[in-house]
Amino acid sequence: MVTETYITEEGYRLSILQTQKFKSEFFSISSAFPIQKEETPMTSLLLSVLRRGTEEYPTLQAINQKLDSLYGAELSIRNFYRGDYQVIGFSLDLLRAEYVPGGEIPLKEALEVVAEILFHPRLDENGLLLASYVEDEKRYQQDVIRSIKNNPSGYAMDRCQALFYQDRPCALPIYGSVEELESVTPERLTAHWKKLLCKFRPECFFVGSLKKDTLEEALRATVGKELKQARLPDSTRRFFSTVGHGETEHFTEEFPACQSHLVVGLTTGVILGDPDYYAVKLYNEILLGSSPVSKLFLELREKRSLCYSCVSSYQAYTGAIFIRCGLSKENSEKAKEEITHQMCELAKGHFSGFELEAAKNAFLTVFHSIEDSPEAMESYFFGRSIMGLDISLEETCRAISEVTREDVIRVAKQVKWNTEFFLVGTGKEKADTDENEED
Amino acid sequence: MKTKKIEYTSSLFGESYTKILHKSGLTIYVFPKSMTTTHAILAAKCGSLDRSVRFADGSLRRFPAGIAHYLEHKLFDNESGQDTFAIFSSLGMDANAYTSYTHTAYYFSATKNAKAGLKELITFAMHPYFTAATVKKERGIIAEEIKMDRDLPWDRAFQNLLTGLYGRHPLSSEICGTQESISKITPKKLYDFYGLFYRPSNMILSVSGPIDTDEVLTVADRLLPAADSLEPAPVRVLPSASAKVAQVRIEERMPVAKPIFQIGFKDRAPGKTSLERVKKDAAMLILNEILFSRSGDFYNRLFEQSLLTPSFSAGYSCEEGFAFNCISGESGNADRVVESLLSYLDFVKKNGISGADLERSRRVLYADEIRSYDSTEEIAGRMLSFAMDDLDPFLYPELIQSVSKDEIEKLLHQNFQEKDLSLSLILPTEERSNL
**Boundary (domain end) residue, out of A195, A214, A237:** A237
Same domain, A182 and A43: yes
Of A205, A237, A269, at which residue does a domain stop?
A: A237
Q: What is the separation of C-alpha A409 from the centre of its chain, rounded to a whole number of angstroms?
A: 29
Number of domains composing chain A? 2
| Chain B nearest-CA residue for A362 | B92
Task: Establish if A407 belongs to a structural domain.
Answer: yes
- Secondary structure of residue B393 in the 3-state scheme: helix
Among B111, B153, B170, whose Cβ lies nearest the Cβ of A368?
B111
pLDDT digits (tens, 9 = 90+) for A10-31: 888 899 999 999 999 999 999 9
* A292 in a structural domain: yes
Contact A324, A157 (CB under 8 A): yes
Of B174, B300, B363, the CB nearest to A71: B363
> Chain B interface, mutation test: which of A139, A298, A302, A433, most B Cβ atoms within 10 Å?
A302
Contacts of A256 in chain B (CB under 8 A): 254-255, 429
Q: For domain B4-236, say whether CATH 2.30.30.140 is its number.
A: no
Please report the ipTM that was assigned to this predicted complex. Answer: 0.91
CB contact under 8 Å between A357 and B90, yes or no, is yes
Question: B38 with B114: CB under 8 angstroms?
Answer: yes
Low-confidence ranges of chain A (pLDDT < 50): 236-237, 435-439
Taking the CA of residue A430 and the nearest CA in chain B, the distance in Å comes to 9
Q: Do domains B4-236 and B249-433 have the same CATH topology?
A: yes
Q: Which residue of B lies nearest to A257 if distances are taken between CA atoms?
A: B151
Give the residue on A whose Cα is nearest the Cα of B426: A150
Has residue A436 been placed in a domain? no
Judged by a CB distance cut-off of 8 A, whether residue B10 touches chain A is no
Sequence-separated (6 or more) residues with CB below 8 Å from residue B121: B40, B42, B95, B106, B107, B108, B205
**Quick one: A232 and A263 in the same domain?**
no
Write the single-letter amino acid at B361: S
Does one domain contain both A194 and A316? no
pLDDT at A430: 62
B153: which chain A residues are within 8 Å (Cβ-Cβ)? 150
Regarding whether A216 and A282 lie in a shared domain, the answer is no
Do A15 and A122 belong to one domain?
yes
Q: String of b and e for A101-136 (b: at least 16 CB within 10 Å)?
A: eeeebbbbbbbbbbbbbbbebbbeeeebbbeebbeb
Helix (H, G, I), strand (E, B) or coil at B169: coil
Separation CA A369–CA A361 (nearest Å): 12
Same domain, A108 and A159: yes
For residue A439, being part of any structural domain is answered with no
> What are the φ and ψ backbone dihedral angles of B416, each rounded to 5 degrees?
-125, 65
pLDDT at position A378, please? Answer: 95
Please tell me whether residues A181 and A313 are part of one structural domain.
Answer: no
Q: What is the pLDDT of residue B435?
A: 38
Q: Which of A227, A204, A189, A229 is nearest to A39 (CA)?
A: A189
Residues A354, A210 share a domain: no
- Asked whether residue A244 is assigned to any structural domain, the reply reads no
Q: How many CB pairs under 8 A join A and B?
A: 216
Q: Does A36 touch chain B (CB under 8 A)?
A: no
Chain B residue closest to A150 (CA)? B256
How much is the pLDDT for A44?
A: 98
- What residues of chain B lie within 8 A of the CB of A26, using their CB? none
Portion of chain B with pLDDT greater than 90, in percent? 86
Note which residues in 181-200 of chain B have CB less than 8 A from chain A.
Answer: 181, 184
DSSP string, A67-109: HHHTTS-EEEEEEEEETTEEEEEEEEEEE-GGGSTT---THHH
What's the pLDDT at B186? Answer: 96
Residue A432 in any domain: the answer is no
Residues 410-429 of A with CB under 8 A from B: 425, 427, 429
Q: Which domain does A354 fall in, by range?
A: 249-425
Tell me if B295 and A95 make a contact (CB, 8 A cut-off): no
Task: Work out the number of other CB atoms within 10 angstroms of the CB of residue B114.
Answer: 24
Query: Same domain, yes or no, for A303 and A352?
Result: yes
Phi (first) and psi of residue A297, to 5 degrees: -60, -45
**Cβ within 8 Å of A, B 335-374:** 360-361, 363-368, 370-371, 373-374
Mutant choice from B59, B137, B148, B189 vs A, greatest count of A C-beta within 10 A:
B148
Q: What is the pLDDT of residue A198?
A: 87
pLDDT in the model for residue B75: 95
Q: Does A104 touch chain B (CB under 8 A)?
A: no
The answer to whether position A170 is within a domain reads yes
Residues of chain B with pLDDT under 50: 431-435
- Regarding whether A169 and A35 lie in a shared domain, the answer is yes
Residue A327: inside a domain: yes
Q: In angstroms, rounded to a whole number, what is the distance separating the alpha carbons of residues B243 and A15?
A: 58
Residue A251 neighbours by CB distance under 10 Å: 15
Contacts A327 to B, Cβ<8 Å: 144
Q: Given 3.30.830.10, 3.40.50.10540, 3.30.70.141, 2.70.98.70, which CATH number is that of B249-433?
A: 3.30.830.10
Considering the domain architecture, whether residues A293 and A187 belong to the same structural domain is answered as: no
B435 in A contact zone (CB under 8 Å): yes
State residue A1's pLDDT score: 65
Q: How far apart (Å, rounded) are the C-alpha atoms in residues B88 and A290?
A: 13
Provide, as residue numbers in chain B, all residues whose Cβ is less than 8 Å from the Cβ of A47. none
Q: How far apart are CA A389 and CA A405, in angstroms?
A: 26
Query: Are the Cβ atoms of B306 and A72 closer than 8 angstroms?
Result: no
Give the residue extent of every domain in chain B: 4-236, 249-433
For A294, nearest residue in chain B (alpha carbons): B86
Task: Give the count of alpha carbons within 13 A of B420, CB side only.
Answer: 19
Whether residue A270 sits in one domain with residue A128:
no
What is the CATH number for A298?
3.30.830.10
Q: Which of A209, A237, A265 is the last residue of a domain?
A: A237
**What's the confidence (pLDDT) of residue A433?**
52
pLDDT of residue B432: 43
Number of H helices, E strands in chain B: 16, 15
